[in-house]
Amino acid sequence: MHSMKRHAGQLSGQVLILLVIVACLALGLIGLILPIIPGLLFLAIAAILLAPYIPALGDWMRRSPIMSRYMDDAERLHTLEFPDQIKLGFFLSLRMLIDSLKFMFGFLRDRVNDFSSDTRSRSARY
């Protein structure tokens, strides 16, 4: 009886992960079309959740130090109780959002600096 309960808990956890993956993929694809939704964030979450099931994806993602850190945190989810899994998942998503905003603003800052240096060099020529 106890093993049946554990099996049912594992199955419901896998179904929940599958639902989250499908939702993140859907939101990610919609986000690529609509600029209001952060599509890449949801695609990254789906990739992190899929990585244990697709070894090639996991190996590819582990090459990035940032994604490797997220994957280490995601692997800890399996060792926690369900309420703690929800909390860690929320904080992991929040950290991903903050990191993606930092990346985006850093990228934009670099482009503005490149543009302003190009403008200065052009005006110096004339």
pLDDT surpassing 80 at residue 121: no
- Structure confidence at residue 4 as a pLDDT band (50, 70, 90): very low
Residue 90: predicted pLDDT: 83
To the question of pTM greater than 0.85 for the whole model, the response is: no
Mean pLDDT across the stretch 2-24? 68
* Residues with Cβ within 8 Å of residue 98, at least 6 apart in sequence: none
Count of CA atoms in the C-beta half-sphere (13 A) of 33: 5
Instruction: Lowest mean pLDDT of 9-13, 60-64, 117-121, name the range.
Output: 9-13
Mean pLDDT across the stretch 17-44? 84
Q: Is the distance from CB of 105 to CB of 98 less than 8 angstroms? A: no
Q: Distance between CA 55 and CA 61 in Å, rounded?
A: 10
What percent of the chain is predicted at pLDDT more than 90?
A: 1
Residue 119: predicted pLDDT: 67
pLDDT surpassing 50 at residue 2: no
Mean pLDDT for all residues in the chain = 78
What percent of the chain is predicted at pLDDT more than 70?
A: 83
Residue bearing tokens 């240096």: 117
